[in-house]
Structure 1
């Protein structure tokens, strides 16, 4: 049977120029507050006390790593290896001295801050922090609230609107082929940028700290980590592409499992006649209702985005903290940023040649989704707005958008793949570990695959990076070098992820859906 054509949503006022301007104002105001008042907000939010805790752990970690290197030097008879381990042990010991000095300085700041708090001098800053954080958290939670119903309804609507089950297969093949090609291009760009700029040779990892959450990811081999994406984690019935419990998968926001279920369920609906049409009409109506909710959410987007931007800058120390982070690994930030920009230009060429769209006009049509991605650092949370912009601003059919975008938000992570390739080689450079052609090839392959397993949530790429580090035998403690600035780069790579998904929808729409 052939499913009925879905009626597209009517463009909303939030899709206009005024909505875009308001979002830009929210970002600018949030950045201004975060940079100018962020340090005071950081102190009001117990930032100095939290910094003391991290510095204490960093000091203990530096001493532990130094001792480990010394033990390795004592355990080997290889003269060259012994000298290398001894040099590393001394380097870490020298860093521990600097960390201890910073710790004492921060303890003084923390003590002074608590005195100010007790005297009521931080009351206004505490109020500003709480209200700003509240605005950002509520907006992000509402977006996440819409993700699961939107994925289910849009995927089923997109599948059933294609009608012929053979066309469903063609859409899937073209979409996955697009994902593979663009991810490959992204990793190649990342490799070229990091090898040309050599950012690791100028990095300062004195205050680098490997957090417990990253250390936990060291367990298991790279193959086991990749297989978990399909099978799931033992003892967790809601994980993996084929979970034992689809409701637990929804509860844990396992979008990949929901997409697989929706594809199979939607395909089955097209084969059971009139009874299937009743269910299809229900999901179409539900999809329209969810999109109406997205339009309503956009009314509060400027306030929510203001809160997200301001709090993220503030909790990292405001302008002073951001400047200090940039000073230590500025060349790394430059390599990632330039690489992401180059890949965005490649995507624009792709949408011009294969999608038959004006790339500048298309990018402008995606502005609100891209700005939301910058603010939320989550391609999944941005998904409702991505679908709205693709369909209403760029005239991509709901058939293509409903299928390609939810799938892309889950497995198409161009920006993450590029970032992981640069970050791993940067870590090797900063640790003075040379990489041969074989190691570069392994990084190329594992960065491409690991990005597929990265969840569409903030800083998910840090965890999948452990897979790439282990694949080439690099120490995972090197992740600590980039943790301080990752919150900023996470927003940039998420924006490229979202843009790549949107381009994929236009390409598939032009090559498959729009053709008989």
Structure 2
């Protein structure tokens, strides 16, 4: 009897252990399934990037026709157009709804903290790039033979002062509707001498607005000619002017109380609708990104030769980006927030991949909003304030690129830079990066300003045009991450003010609700006092 009971107990124990094992396996399986479900969009986006690289390099040996290349890149073009379609309404709605939800004093504090952070990180990137370029010495005088002769050596470039003044003109637009379509910029045209007529065709070509890397260059064969500075408008959204107008409008909208409540709700609703559109577009990301990357790889001529010639330059840029993203940014995050910074970084993988594929911080802005608000739980009042501003003035990667490229070209030209010229490179790179546009290859135009400041040959900058399609993507990730980490730091520094703002908003909503109830009661009394017909 005792033996039979022991055997039954052993069988029960064995069955329980098997059930425990099965339960543990099921828990592990459910955990992995939950991880995959939470990160499915990131995995799909990453697969799109890898697929684009594989397709691009696999089809290069086939020598495809231009029509075929256009068809391969066409889905990516549509994807980019859809993303850019949402940028302007998203920026307007986010800034107005975000700034109106905070009082004017708090808006001023947040704006000051944001600007100081952006200025400090841009200066830090310029110093980092300059230091790495001086240590690694990527420039080789023998590379100057590979420079293609262009008209840049005979061109009149805008100065740093012109760039800064253009920045002010764009921040304070004279027409908000024009700001949605055009940007102000300075150009130089040859001054007509008495008795020496200027060819009208050449003049119209030189002064015509353009969005290419030579936008600020005026070709002219006579270097002794006198130049006239004029301000023109070129196609492209003046994001700085729109940002300034929306910040002022939203801040003042929050001060008029109940009368502005409907307008605030209107822009908040627009923001929510745009974010729903972003959710739908996200499922098109793998196709769009793979098409963009494959099309770009297939369209580049002699990609192996170019990469070999400029390998040390690319390595210097990549090392600077790696050090900033994985060391400096993580240290800044940990010092201020005392949290694991790498968890925050991993939460931004999808916008990073999108920014890398599109080479535009602005194009990745809708996805950045979604990840920051929903995944990383950053206060939406901060993200709606910081991200659109950072998208336009915080160009950490651009500051790094301009500083490295300036010293690279100086080394390639066999120039020896003194301490004053090195400081000039750092300051010029910082100032120029903050006047940069969040569009692909904008840094190339600003590089010419930095080269002019140290009297380096502008013509040698043409060597970098062939690889900018790749380097631009690397530095875009720096720009994007700089905005996101800025939002996290500013939120932490503003946490006490945000709590006070929450209390004020609660009582404001209570006042609006009570006022509405009073209005309804008065309407009811008026109707009851009317004689029955």
Which category of TM-score, normalised to the shorter sequence, fits these structures?
0.7 to 0.9
Q: Deviations over 1:113-150 (max 9, x none)?
A: xxxxxxxxxxxxx44x2332111100111111111001
Determine the C-alpha separation between the residues in 2 that align with 1:15 and 1:347. Answer: 28
Match of 1:425 in 2: 407
CA contact (8 A) 1:198 1:426 kept: yes
Match of 2:443 in 1: 461
Post-superposition offset of 1:209: 3.3
Q: How does 1:496-515 map to 2 (within 5 A)?
A: 496-513=478-495, 515=497
**Closer/same/farther in 2, CA of residues 15 and 364 from structure 1, 3 Å limit:** farther
Determine the C-alpha separation between the residues in 2 that align with 1:429 and 1:216. Answer: 21
Q: Deviations over 1:272-308 (max 9, x none)?
A: 1211111001011111011111111111011000011
Determine the C-alpha separation between the residues in 2 that align with 1:38 and 1:472. Answer: 40
Residue 326 (1) aligns with residue 336 (2)? no
**Closer/same/farther in 2, CA of residues 357 and 391 from structure 1, 3 Å limit:** farther
Residue 151 (1) aligns with residue 91 (2)? yes
Post-superposition offset of 1:210: 6.6
RMSD, aligned α-carbons: 1.9
Match of 1:5 in 2: none
CA contact (8 A) 2:144 2:413 kept: no
Determine the C-alpha separation between the residues in 1 that align with 2:94 and 2:61. Answer: 43
Match of 1:198 in 2: 137
Q: Which has the larger radius of gyration?
A: 2
Please identify, of 247-256 and 281-290, the stretch whose mean Cα deviation from structure 2 is larger: 247-256
Determine the C-alpha separation between the residues in 1 that align with 2:153 and 2:379. Answer: 44
Q: 2:161 pairs with 223, 226, 231, which one?
A: 223
Q: How does 1:105-504 map to 2 (within 5 A)?
A: 126-127=67-68, 129-162=69-102, 164-201=103-140, 204-209=143-148, 218-231=156-169, 240-251=170-181, 252-317=236-301, 321-344=302-325, 345-504=327-486
Determine the C-alpha separation between the residues in 2 that align with 1:294 and 1:372. Answer: 13
Please identify, of 349-358 and 247-256, the stretch whose mean Cα deviation from structure 2 is larger: 349-358
Q: 2:65 pairs with 20, 35, 44, which one?
A: 44
TM-score (structure 1 length as normaliser): 0.76
Tell me the SS of whatever aligns to 2:139. helix
CA contact (8 A) 1:208 1:482 kept: no
Tell me the SS of whatever aligns to 2:140. helix
Residue 20 (1) aligns with residue 20 (2)? no
Determine the C-alpha separation between the residues in 1 that align with 2:277 and 2:391. Answer: 20
Match of 2:51 in 1: 29
Post-superposition offset of 1:353: 1.9
Post-superposition offset of 1:157: 1.4
Post-superposition offset of 1:261: 0.5
CA contact (8 A) 2:398 2:433 kept: yes
Determine the C-alpha separation between the residues in 1 that align with 2:161 and 2:370. Answer: 37
Tell me the SS of whatever aligns to 2:438. coil
CA contact (8 A) 1:294 1:384 kept: yes
Post-superposition offset of 1:211: 6.4
CA contact (8 A) 2:70 2:295 kept: no
Determine the C-alpha separation between the residues in 2 that align with 1:211 and 1:39. Answer: 30
Determine the C-alpha separation between the residues in 2 that align with 1:211 and 1:44. Answer: 28
Determine the C-alpha separation between the residues in 2 that align with 1:210 and 1:383. Answer: 38
Tell me the SS of whatever aligns to 1:354. helix
**Closer/same/farther in 2, CA of residues 217 and 150 from structure 1, 3 Å limit:** farther
**Closer/same/farther in 2, CA of residues 371 and 132 from structure 1, 3 Å limit:** same
Q: Deviations over 1:291-326 (max 9, x none)?
A: 111111111011000011001111113xxx222111
Q: For structure 2, which runs of at least 5 residues remain unmatched after alignment? A: 1-34, 182-235, 500-533
Post-superposition offset of 1:229: 1.1
Tell me the SS of whatever aligns to 1:461. helix
Determine the C-alpha separation between the residues in 1 that align with 2:446 and 2:79. Answer: 27
CA contact (8 A) 2:138 2:313 kept: yes
Post-superposition offset of 1:355: 3.5
Higher helix share: 1
Determine the C-alpha separation between the residues in 2 that align with 1:327 and 1:203. Answer: 14
Post-superposition offset of 1:357: 3.8
Matched pairs, number: 409
CA contact (8 A) 1:171 1:513 kept: no
Determine the C-alpha separation between the residues in 2 that align with 1:207 and 1:391. Answer: 48
